[in-house]
Amino acid sequence: MKTQITIFLLSFILLFSVQAQETIHDEFESKLLNINGYKINVETKGKGNPIVFIAGGPGNSHDYLQGNFGKYYKNRQVVFFDGLGRGLSDDAKDSKEYSIQGDVETLEGIRKALQLSKWTVVGHSYGTVVAQAYALKYPQYTEKMILINGFHSGLMWQANCDSYNHYAKTHFPEKWKVVDSLRSEGFVSSDSEFSKVYGDFPTKYIYYHNTELKQPVPKDVKRSWNSDVYYTIVGRDADFHVTGDMGDIDFRRELKKIQSPTLIIAGRYDGVSTPEFAIQYKKYMPKAKFVMFEKSGHNPYLEEPEKFFKLFESFLEIKH
């Protein structure tokens, strides 16, 4: 009986904490800034050394990061934004404009528009690719960097696809037969008929160690995802063969050049940014602080929040 009560209380606390986080979106105001000829949605609040958060995807809006990290406006100036073609921001006139370097220049354009001398860049998943590219091109404006479950190269992103597909094939063979059938007919990831089938796999087992968790998002979601951005940057057959901008990216030989203090976070059960490749950061960035979260998948801030935010606050010297 005590066990049942404890489980109930833990479930209630988890539910309450997620609901409490959801309200944080209401604390922020959307502002459309003219960045490189496009209206880019930027939401910033607070005072103190600024922190900018770069969402994953590529194609995600800022919503989930704001839900998890928006609370830090009480300690620092926090900056959330939707990249070109994402969330409330404009779409590109030509999809070819979606690129990693384009995201870097959007980021730099926001810094200039907000008149910030320096900031800490925090990237999650694909956002770490933009963060690393930014830190390499604009080291003078990068105070610190945090990479959460990220990627150092197109090779590592390909491992992400291979890991996902192996899991899907071995755990859901019935569904995979349909995938195989469509592939044999020449369908690729970006074909709508194929994406409907491929998107039907229960992906939470790849992204979460605890599959009961959900990302905190606002009540009214305008646009959380844009597949055009994803397939342009990662390639038209992105779920199987990484090409495009992502296929060409490789930071491994350059990472030692980054002098900004860096924190690298990985999840032991991450089926996306796989530990096999994540631990290689120890070699490529030996001066960085590397922490493996042993009970997490792709989202340690949700799965081990106490440990994660203690580490996050310590690294950024945030005091309550």
What CATH number does the domain containing 82 carry? Answer: 3.40.50.1820
Task: Give 291's strand partners.
Answer: 265
CA distance 121 to 77: 12
CA distance 229 to 238: 11
| pLDDT at residue 208, as a whole number | 87
CA distance 158 to 295: 24
Average pLDDT of the segment spanning 88-96: 97
Q: Is the pLDDT of residue 95 over 90?
A: yes
Mean pLDDT, the chain, whole residue set: 92
Among residues 150, 146, 42, the alpha carbon closest in space to that of 89 is found at 42
| pLDDT at residue 17, as a whole number | 41
Among residues 21, 64, 18, 62, the alpha carbon closest in space to that of 44 is found at 62
In angstroms, what CA-CA distances link 34 with 25, 42, 113?
Answer: 22, 10, 8
Average pLDDT of the segment spanning 172-176: 95
CA distance 75 to 45: 10
Among residues 211, 210, 213, the alpha carbon closest in space to that of 15 is found at 213
Task: Give 262's strand partners.
Answer: 145
Residue 203 pLDDT level (bands cut at 50, 70, 90): confident
Residue 2 pLDDT level (bands cut at 50, 70, 90): very low
Average pLDDT of the segment spanning 62-88: 98
| pLDDT at residue 222, as a whole number | 82
Residue with tokens 């030996």: 286
- Tell me the residue range of the domain where 104 lies: 2-316
> How many structural domains compose the chain?
1
Residue 4 pLDDT level (bands cut at 50, 70, 90): very low
In angstroms, what CA-CA distances link 156 with 32, 151, 279?
Answer: 34, 6, 11
